Amino acid sequence: MSFLIRTPADQIKPYFSEAAQTHYTQLFQHFPILERTYFPFEKNFHAEPFVNFAKATWPALPLALCTLYALMIVVGSRVMKNRERFDWRGPLAYWNLCLSLFSFCGMLRTVPHLLNNITTLSFRETVCTSAAKAYGEGACGLWVMLFIFSKIPELVDTVFIVFRKSKLQFLHWYHHITVLLFCWHSYATESSTGLYFVAMNYSVHAI
């Protein structure tokens, strides 16, 4: 079957990232039939500006966002204490649908890339190779970047809970704060194991 035909490693011409000063390959180079499913903006994505932004703003910006998030919970809960709850079932359904579709698209780009790394590299290489070379550039790199910064709009989940006067569990807001901080730090430090976390997280939220 044509989709199973893998290009021999010695016939693949790696891309070169001048910013990261490293060569990297994309999944469609290993399986050419997949190339038609990639958009040009995915193929040509370079992470340098976004990684530099994460580095320059760590930890001030993510901590500020988490502080504002916590204040929103406290103030919002007090404002809604003696008010009628908002229904918002329609907007909530659309919001969850958008998040699921986003996660599904991210899963389609990151999981196959991770599986290809696992089957062509040793386990040590998959967890020790630099992020730029292993997964941080090109299409996979784009969806990793989108995952990292999607943790900001995902805070809107809690807005629905507060204004619908649903019970706000500790695990809910703790999860949002810690994941945002963890992702920002991992991206800023170019964690070599990041793709494992991103691929699993996309998959869980896509289901």
The CB density around residue 76, as the number of other CB atoms within 10 Å, is 17
pLDDT at 10: 65
Question: What pTM does this model have?
Answer: 0.93
| Whole-angstrom distance, CA of residue 69 vs CA of residue 176 | 9
Q: Active-site residue 175, yes or no? A: yes
pLDDT at 1: 43
CA angle, 71 as apex, 147 and 79 as ends, to 5°? 120
Report yes or no: 169 and 84 within 8 Å, Cβ to Cβ: no
Look up residue 39 and give its two tokens: 């958009």
What are the pLDDT tens digits along the chain (207 aa)?
445 567 776 677 777 777 666 788 999 999 999 999 999 999 999 999 999 999 999 999 999 999 999 999 999 999 999 999 999 999 999 999 999 999 999 999 999 999 999 999 999 999 999 999 999 999 999 999 999 999 999 999 999 999 999 999 999 999 999 999 999 999 999 999 999 999 999 999 998
| Whole-angstrom distance, CA of residue 149 vs CA of residue 50 | 10
DSSP 129: S
DSSP 43-101: HT---HHHHHHHHHHTTHHHHHHHHHHHHHHHHHHHHHTTSPPP--HHHHHHHHHHHHH
pLDDT at 55: 98
pLDDT at 8: 75
pLDDT at 198: 99
| Catalytic, out of 46, 113, 172, 175 | 175
Of 70, 76, 97, residue with least CA distance to 155:
70
Dihedral-angle region of residue 88 (phi above 0 means left; psi in -120 to 50 means alpha; beta otherwise)? left
The amino acid at residue 154 is E
Terminal C-alpha separation, the chain: 28
The helix/strand count (H/E) of the chain reads as: 11, 2
pLDDT at 155: 98
